[in-house]
Amino acid sequence: MQLLLTNALLVDATMAEPRYGNVLIENGVIRDLDARRAPAEDRNVVDLGGRTLMPGLIDCHVHVVASMMNLSANAQLPDATAMLRSLPIMRGMLARGFTTVRDVGGAPYALAEGVEQGLAEGPRLVVCGKALSKTGGHTDFRARADTHDPYRWQNRFGALGRIADGVDEVRRAARQELRQGARFIKIMANGGVGSPTDPVAWIGYSVDEMTAAVQEAADAQTYVAAHLYTAPAIQRAVQCGVHSLEHCNVIDAEAAVAAAAKGCVAVPTLVIFEALAQDGERLGLLPESMAKIGDVRNSGLASLEILRKAGVAMAYGTDLLGEAHERQCEEFAIRAQVLDSRDVLSSATTVAAKLIRMEDKLGLVREGFLADLIAVEGNPLEDVALLAAPSRNLKLVVQAGQIRHSWLP
Ligand code: ZN
Ligand code: ZN
């Protein structure tokens, strides 16, 4: 089965400028960027009319099982309900041009497999299973007065994480997640907004626990991603060998320099804090959570500048929950306020592909790469904010060589 996309302006983050191409796709792989128009029996030809053809987008911080903003309520959903509610979230992501996402807490390996097998329509999923947190940490969603055991939700489909305390439990939990198909390990290394009893500045794990998680991940040829905001939490995580630094809203220059020296990747997620501040109350966010938003929201744009100055690679992330998922592309416009278009484009393509360890298959328009491609109006190398308006500018979504959506005239 062949697909020929003609009359395209090819763009990826490594190209100096767009270049003309006719892209032949065969068995899900890009075969030729300058294909001739010779007719073939089962060849589907689509004329892009000079529009931009670029790599499919990659969001490195999502929770596809988070169908509600109230994460405690989400964790208590019956499994079947939570699973059914995740399906439109995944479909929505693909329809916004995200052909791959890294799920950083909640989605099981079976869901990734379901997408691969065509049982569900959505982005390719790179999963970590459940995120690990200490008692009273960011995946402990018990109300303050709730003294029931914290483990009772951890295998629920809608739970983003599980509790693991002490080196032995952290090792066992990491090994269980890896055995069950985790491609990396996620830990909660700071307090959080969506959980009721942990102030944002609390540090999530001791040095010994964090080091144990990093060793387990390294033994399984992978890395740890950590939820964190504050400079002390980032310093500790970097020293312990954590590779992927999520959020980083309240980072300072010293922590950013330390992160850059270790080759860490930051995954800012600024759009979620806009969504929480604007719609959190209406969408059922706990009052305890509403009160914590200001602690991280106001420093968002400054954190991007600190990271850029220190030379920390940044991947695209959104961290949206519930109804707010539809704002997934707004992060492009937020970042474009302080970062170069090319850097923002890399964050959702080449940097992201490297972070999910698929840089030899995804993130570029190149022969031999997987045919995950989107067509857009305009040139994102000049104005990456055009990607923030998919209803206007997104015209075609191709995943593994299959046309998933077309809004071409
Ligand atoms: Zn987080
Ligand atoms: Zn998250």
- The pLDDT mean for the chain works out to 95
Ion ligand 1: protein residues whose beta carbon lies under 5 Å: 227
> Of the listed 134, 186, 292, 354, which one is catalytic?
186
> Does the annotation count 186 as an active-site position?
yes
Q: Distance, CA 192 to ligand 1 centroid (Å)?
A: 7
- The ligand whose atoms approach the alpha carbon of 107 most closely is 2
Say if residue 382's pLDDT is above 80. Answer: yes
Return residue ranges of the chain for CATH 3.20.20.140: 57-328
Return residue ranges of the chain for CATH 2.30.40.10: 2-56+364-406
- The ligand whose atoms approach the alpha carbon of 63 most closely is 2
pLDDT band at residue 38 using 50, 70 and 90 as cut-offs:
low
Say which CATH topology domain 2-56+364-406 has. Urease, subunit C; domain 1 (2.30.40)
- The ligand whose atoms approach the alpha carbon of 229 most closely is 1
Q: Distance, CA 95 to ligand 1 centroid (Å)?
A: 24
Q: Distance, CA 246 to ligand 1 centroid (Å)?
A: 6
Say if residue 30's pLDDT is above 70. Answer: yes
Average pLDDT of the segment spanning 103-132: 97
pLDDT given at position 39: 63
> Of the listed 319, 354, 372, 395, which one is catalytic?
319
Question: Could you report the per-residue pLDDT of 150-163, keeping only the tens digit for each?
Answer: 888 888 999 999 99
Q: Distance, CA 243 to ligand 1 centroid (Å)?
A: 15
Question: Could you report the per-residue pLDDT of 305-347, keeping only the tens digit for each?
Answer: 999 999 999 999 999 999 999 999 999 999 999 999 999 999 9
pTM of the model: 0.97
Average pLDDT of the segment spanning 156-177: 97
> Does the annotation count 134 as an active-site position?
no
HEC letters along the chain: CEEEEEEEEECCCCCCCCEEEEEEEECCEEEECECCCCCCCCEEEEECCCCEEEECEEEEEECCCCCCCCHHHHHCCCHHHHHHHHHHHHHHHHHCCEEEEEECCCCCHHHHHHHHCCCCCCCEEEECCCEEECCCCCCCCCCCCCCCCHHHHCCCCCCCEEECCHHHHHHHHHHHHHHCCCCCEEEECECCCCCCCCCCCCECCCHHHHHHHHHHHHHCCCCEEEEEEEHHHHHHHHHHCCCEEEEEEECCHHHHHHHHHCCCEEECCHHHHHHHHHHCCCCCCCHHHHCCCHHHHCCHHHHHHHHHHHCCEECCCCCCCHHHHHHCCHHHHHHHCCCCHHHHHHHCCHHHHHHCCCCCCCCCCCCCCECCEEEECCCCCCCHHHHHCHHHHEEEEEECCEEEEECCC
Q: Distance, CA 318 to ligand 1 centroid (Å)?
A: 10
Q: Distance, CA 195 to ligand 1 centroid (Å)?
A: 10
Identify the CATH homologous superfamily for domain 57-328: Metal-dependent hydrolases (3.20.20.140)
| Percentage above 70 pLDDT, the chain | 99
